[in-house]
Copies of this chain bind each other. A is one copy, B any other.
Amino acid sequence: MLQITRDGEYAVRAVLFLAGRAEGALSLISEISEAQEVPKSYLSKIMQHLVRAGLVKSRRGARGGFYLARKPEEITLREAIEAVEGPIFLNVCLIKKGECHRDEFCPVHQVWKEAQKRLFEVLDGKTMAQLVIDGESLLKKKPKKKSARKSPASV
């Protein structure tokens, strides 16, 4: 359907959450689940994937939890997504040369190539660090909408 799955969406939320914590601080599944509104048991699977993909590290047992394996500046949005969804290919012919045998003479192939490149430019261009900053600005700017241009108090 040319849409990201819940896996990818939840992975981004989880990684973004960890990026917002102090470096190396441990977060519990239950914390992440509640803050990011992801079903706890489902999130458990997502975290496993993220650990295996090397994006997140975990400590088991009492006082365990999850933390980022790398600094938020070094994790892109695309990486978070692909860690759980696998590599993105907008069409089968982008998987590898010859995957679609029409690729050599197909004019549409080139367009998908370009489209994917452009998509990646956006997804690679955002790091978790930047997203955390963006998120903070959003919270500051929009506590309520329809702000009466001057005085913050009203009614």
Contacts and interface: CB of A to CB of B under 8 A. Distances in A.
B37 A102 contact: yes
Interface in A72-124: 77, 85, 88-92, 102, 104-108, 110-111, 114-115, 118-119, 121-123
A2 B108 contact: no
A1 B12 contact: no
The interface centre, meaning the residue of A1, A102, A107, A142 with most chain B CB atoms within 10 A of its CB, is A107
On chain A, which size bracket covers the interface? 35 or more
B4 A108 contact: no
A105 B8 contact: no
Oligomer: number of copies: 2
A86 to B, nearest CB: 8
Interface string A116-153: 00110111001000011011001100100000000000
A134 B110 contact: yes
B3 A108 contact: no
A131 B118 CA distance: 19
Given A9-B91, A105-B138, A115-B123, 4 more contacts: A16-B108, A105-B142, A111-B131, A118-B121
Interface of A: 1-5, 8-9, 12-13, 16, 37, 77, 85, 88-92, 102, 104-108, 110-111, 114-115, 118-119, 121-123, 126, 131-132, 134-135, 138-139, 142
